[in-house]
Structure 1
Amino acid sequence: MEYQVGWGKREIHITGCGYAMHGYGQPGHRATGTRNPLYARSLAIADLDSDDAPLLYCCLDLGYVTHAMRQGVVTGLRESLGEAFDEHRLVLTCTHTHSGPGGCAHEGLYNLVTPGFVPAHLEAVVEAALASLRAALVTRKATDIQYRSSQVPDPVPVAWNRSLKAYNRNPDVAPRDATQTHLALDRTMHLISFHRQGRVRALLSLFGVHATCLGNQLAHYDGDNKGYAALHAEMQLQADGVSEPVAIFAQGAAGDVSPHYHGPGDRKRRRKLRGEAEYAYARKNGEAQSEHALAMLEAESGQAVSGPLDGVLTYVDMSDQAVSPEFAGGSRDARTSAPCHGVGFFLGTPVDGPGMPAPLGFAARRLARAQRRRSLKPGSPRQAQAQALYASQGAKDILLNAGEKRVLGYALDRIPLPDLADPLVAELKRQARLGALTESPMVPSVLPLQIVRLGNLRLVCAPGEFTTVAGRRLVSAVATALPLEGSERCLINTYCNDYMGYVTTFEEYQEQAYEGGHTVYGQWTLGAFQTAFTRLAATFNTPPSEREPAEKNAPPPVLNSELALRSDIPVRGREMSSG
């Protein structure tokens, strides 16, 4: 099998002018400049023996991909490529840097901190993605593709599990203690490399670790560890004589994986990293990832990638999914629910991104449980609805019911907290009073699920953040459903095509740490993804010409009138949020 492959890289031109960055949910985390440029890096892969549309892969130095971004890129590619474009074969993903621009979503919640929707940011992202994809398309030449995988050695200080109690709840893991958090994750790096005349010209690495080396006190856009990894690898390839190389360092299952040490004395150690030390740390972490990838190319013979290209994409409403008993411990009543955020979400993560103070969290839990009791009380007008909700949400102490747009039972514009107490609450109330959130969803619920075939590789392209074990279980379910044969491999790429929060295992969810609190569709969320992805895997048996259009079940557009009410909202001072 011969492939034509091209690659391209373009800067995302966004000027830091005081808008809050996406990632930490802190209104004071504002960008006033750029430390290292943010890029869109792309691959275009075509089969020389077929007239089918090429596979297109674009990775953005951003904290998230949104449906608005994807729709902008799809529209642009349709205009320029016509029938030579197949949306099923487009993957849009990101590095998950927390030092990138916000304001790029049409939904309300993740734009709140910016504050609001910033059309110029979205336009710049779409423009850079399209430019890099078009560069990849026009530079296609005969290229050999190889695959390798290798464990990042245990002593390399690159990743630690940040939610060990939740991880240890899983029956399918070896329990770890507080000194072994670097082992409570998948240390495998998967590497796809692209060769011409026997030399590596581009590469794609998949390794799960958060891009949170840089904290929420800094004021510049930066690609964080994944960005530094890409720049380092490209620099090394250039030094070896490669012209215009592209190195993509994308994410695997990173939901519970931190780039910061977790163990005895972790918070004290993190507090010592400030300012320039954080940038140095991000560079060191990224270069460790890059050096491992480059060493893999030198030390190991790659497996040739060969075979057909294909992709299947569908949209699924994850807020109301029946879960197969196979993925629900035998239960026939397991369902997801409308999105809800727990107190654990607002408490944040102690080392990577602290949220509200613990005393406020304690009070919020008490209020959330009181609201649960009121809702479930016999005779309550909403008792049946509440029973279904809490059956799905389980142990979660619900602070924000994003589906119903209520906080602890109160409508958004009537939250009984003074505006001065929290700038995010004040902004939420202000937008609600304007009518900017009346019809708009707070977070996405209709989500894109995608599986891509690159010869003997299958790439599960999942939205949001999957924890280590959740990602492993999803890959296992898809691999069984395909099924795989011989040398075929199934890999996971997260943060693809949209963002809605986290996916934990059922067991991890019961801990209600940050990751479980941000698993918005409830305790059966992973089971719902396993159910839907295995159903999608069967689509490969249907000829491409007979498959449903990818956009058939896509989410409805958000009202322009509401977007206008929360667009380019004037920037306020550098106040900090307790959330």
Structure 2
Amino acid sequence: MLRYSWLRLVWACSLILLPWATHAYKVGVGIGDITGPSVQVMLMGYAKEGQTGKGILQRLYARAYVVVDDQDRRVVFVNTDTQSMGDIIKKRVIQQLGDHLGSAIYTFDNVMLSSTHSHSGMGGYLQHTLYELSVAGWIEETVQPMVQGIFNAIMQAHNSLQEGSVNLNVGELLNSNANRSPESYLLNPANERALYQYDVDKNMTVLGFRNAKNEDLGLVAWFAVHGTSVNNTNQLINGDNKGYAAYTAERQMNPNSVSGNGPFVAAFAQSNEGDSSPNTLGAFCGTTNVRCTATSNDTCPGSQCIARGPGWTTSDLESNRMIGQQQADMALNLYKQGGTPLSGAIDYRHKVFDMTAVVLDGNKSLCAPAMGYAFAAGTTDGPGLNDLGFYQNMTQGTFLWGLISGIIRTASDQQKACQAPKPILLDTGEISIPYAWQPTIIEIQLLRIGDTFIASTPSELTTMSGRRLRNAIRDRFASHGIQVQDIIYSGPANGYASYCTTFEEYQEQRYEGASTPYGPHTLEGYITTFMELVDAMANGTDVQSVPLPDYTSKAFDFAPAYLPDHPVLFHQFGDVLSNVKPAYSRGDTASADFVSGNPRNDVMDMLGKTYLTVEMLSAQPNGGNGTWSVIRTDNDYDTRFTWTSTSSVLGMSKVTIDWIIGSDVTPGTYRLGYFGHHTAPLSTNSITPHQGYSDQFVVA
């Protein structure tokens, strides 16, 4: 009898441990540089005329995570330092992976490409006309390094697969986001709002990756906050607050590597940030202490109603550092705590579908895309055409702008009724010249790692939209008897389709509602389609998709042409034009100018490299000449790489390298280095590298 009881105990324990034994994971992480043309290409996000790149504050990266179960089912999550993700980018990445590994391993189904929503990266990778107009076209110079960098990140993760674990942890992060449209949020039902303490999501969700030896591999941290800490006057490429968070987290976890690049990969992914701003102090009129909302009855024009980050009295870059550091500190804390180990099957579903054809319950329908008047007003994070009569909360159009927009296309009566109360400024869904202005064919996706799920859309969901979507997915799984530990929303992913508000928020027609393309029931369209994914995953059935259109063969590219390079007169490429001073104190900025070529010459060659170095001289014990060691690159937050055309006619240019010497810098002897490429006269195909160094200088 004792033996029988013991055997029953062993059998019961084996049932408990069975999921762990059956569904042991292999995990891999990887990182790839996706920095494209850092100069002469418009930045993507603010759509501000003249906001073209002039250099690099920090590089942009793709960070990839592969999880494989014991049945060799796998999912890939990739986080990119971009405003959004292009559907054609994903198509090309999948094609390249198929060319190298075969078409069955990584597919549209199991690869999710998400974005941090930084507004300080190069544009030109979205294929629809409206988004191309804001950055002067479809720009292969941007697309090719982006595709290659994402591919490199996935391949690095794939090649590093090893037995390991994935842990989930969630914590509350305060003072790092604020609702920029609280007037809209308050229109949601009071009983629904009462379920939540805040009008933005304060939870950070972290997936931590370790190998079988419990060695650190990486993390992904989701937190809902816009990538608008760096304002619309910026012209240096960077990943905004989430890019900084990744940089500082990786520097801490990879202490022996320059600029943080190393085996530990930390991604700071985006969530339902549609109305969530990093400018936590709120919006004020200019430099006064008068609060504003960017509506028509404000005490100041909308162009002067600007939100402030926590470090605004110093600079927007200080606000960016503060919001990024807070995310990094919280993510590393949650990672080190460990959290709950995930176990169970890997699964995935995706659907490419026509959003406008989704059938909703009741007397409701989705609309062909359109953008409202408040879309042109911008937000308090980045004001738009306020001085031309646009402001937030516009539920009526104007006669003058109605005439002007009618030149492009006058909306049909059916479209006006469908989009109401949105006054239509751009009837994007009924324009097809030169091709579709906004997408109707879009992709949603659902990944499963045990009892945790990652859902994505191409839209920027507002706080309450994200909550409703997650709750709907959770409830639908529960109806199938599947318990869920967490539903993570990640996006914009796999494409871009502007915003998504709740039906109630849409009525206010602030920027977010005006930018919700498919009408007031857009969120219901997403939820309805996600139910199909949930049912298919629960039942083990497939989901049908439609073909993804590709307009890139018809695309335009109005990025400025550039000439072959010529050195500044009486100099060679790499020569110093303006040298450093002999000595600096901590807190000073060391600076030098060099004769350069155009950085657009070499975007593919420079992936994973640097245009600048700060090097320290190490003394030799025997009194020799010493050796130079790189301590900073163009990915460091205290360096600046700025390019200037000195003669557009002759193709002459220079670069300025700045190093802001921090209080933690070791006293010693230093120099600045510059690395670039130039084209030969009369040719843009013969590209030659060059380099140069400043004089030595002492930091006391």
Task: Flag whether TM exceeds 0.5 (same fold).
Answer: yes
Alignment of 1:417-436 (within 5 A): none
SS in 2 for 1:132: helix
More strand by share: 2
State the alpha-carbon separation in 1 of the partners of residues 235 and 40 from structure 2. Answer: 9
Q: Which residue of 2 aligns with 1:167?
A: 185
Q: Which residue of 2 aligns with 1:506?
A: 503
Q: Offset at 1:487?
A: 5.4
State the alpha-carbon separation in 2 of the partners of residues 559 and 110 from structure 1. Answer: 13
Superposed CA deviations along residues 299-343 of structure 1, whole A, max 9, x for unmatched, are x4511100010110011211232223xxxxxxx121111110000
Q: 1:169, 1:508 within 8 Å by CA — same for their partners in 2?
A: yes
- Count of matched residue positions in the alignment of Structure 1 and Structure 2: 508
Q: TM-score, normalised by structure 2?
A: 0.68
Superposed CA deviations along residues 237-258 of structure 1, whole A, max 9, x for unmatched, are 1239995100010011100000
Which of residues 473, 478, 490 is equivalent to 1:478? 473
The farther-off stretch of 306-315 and 278-287 is 278-287
SS in 2 for 1:87: coil
SS in 1 for 2:390: helix
The one-letter code of the counterpart of 1:97 is S
More helix by share: 1
Q: Does 1:309 align with 2:346?
A: yes
Which of residues 81, 88, 93 is equivalent to 2:101? 81
- The unaligned stretches of length 5 or more in structure 2 are 1-22, 289-306, 563-643, 646-700
State the alpha-carbon separation in 1 of the partners of residues 374 and 276 from structure 2. Answer: 17
Superposed CA deviations along residues 446-497 of structure 1, whole A, max 9, x for unmatched, are 1101111011101111212000000000111111122364453222112110
Q: Offset at 1:526?
A: 0.6
Q: Offset at 1:174?
A: 7.4
Which of residues 206, 209, 218 is equivalent to 1:194? 209
Q: Does 1:67 align with 2:62?
A: no
Q: 2:349, 2:543 within 8 Å by CA — same for their partners in 1?
A: no
Q: 2:88, 2:550 within 8 Å by CA — same for their partners in 1?
A: no
Q: Offset at 1:569?
A: 5.6
State the alpha-carbon separation in 2 of the partners of residues 183 and 541 from structure 1. Answer: 32
The one-letter code of the counterpart of 2:271 is G
State the alpha-carbon separation in 1 of the partners of residues 496 and 149 from structure 2. Answer: 19
Which of residues 237, 244, 247 is equivalent to 2:263? 244
The one-letter code of the counterpart of 1:247 is A
Q: 2:208, 2:338 within 8 Å by CA — same for their partners in 1?
A: no
The share of aligned pairs that are identical, in percent, is 27
Distance 1:265 1:275, change over 3 A: closer
Distance 1:502 1:319, change over 3 A: same
Q: Does 1:14 align with 2:36?
A: yes
Distance 1:144 1:309, change over 3 A: same
Q: Offset at 1:72?
A: 0.9
The one-letter code of the counterpart of 1:104 is Y
The one-letter code of the counterpart of 1:398 is I
Q: Which residue of 2 aligns with 1:254?
A: 273
State the alpha-carbon separation in 2 of the partners of residues 76 and 164 from structure 1. Answer: 44
SS in 1 for 2:356: coil
Q: Offset at 1:297?
A: 3.1
Alignment of 1:144-183 (within 5 A): 144-153=165-174, 157-172=175-190, 183=198
Q: Which residue of 2 aligns with 1:393?
A: 419
The farther-off stretch of 461-470 and 192-201 is 192-201
State the alpha-carbon separation in 2 of the partners of residues 182 and 486 from structure 1. Answer: 25
Q: Which residue of 2 aligns with 1:418?
A: none
Superposition CA RMSD, Å = 2.9
Q: Offset at 1:275?
A: 11
State the alpha-carbon separation in 2 of the partners of residues 203 and 76 from structure 1. Answer: 26
Which of residues 276, 283, 287 is equivalent to 1:268? 287
Q: TM-score, normalised by structure 1?
A: 0.82
Superposed CA deviations along residues 177-212 of structure 1, whole A, max 9, x for unmatched, are xxxx99321101111101232343210111100010
Q: Which residue of 1 aligns with 2:144?
A: 123
Q: Which residue of 1 aligns with 2:607?
A: none
Which of residues 534, 539, 542 is equivalent to 1:537? 534
State the alpha-carbon separation in 1 of the partners of residues 484 and 350 from structure 2. Answer: 24
Larger radius of gyration: 2
Q: Offset at 1:218?
A: 1.2
Distance 1:175 1:51, change over 3 A: closer
Q: Which residue of 2 aligns with 1:210?
A: 226
Q: Which residue of 2 aligns with 1:349?
A: 379
SS in 2 for 1:86: coil
Q: 1:322, 1:333 within 8 Å by CA — same for their partners in 2?
A: no
Distance 1:182 1:489, change over 3 A: closer
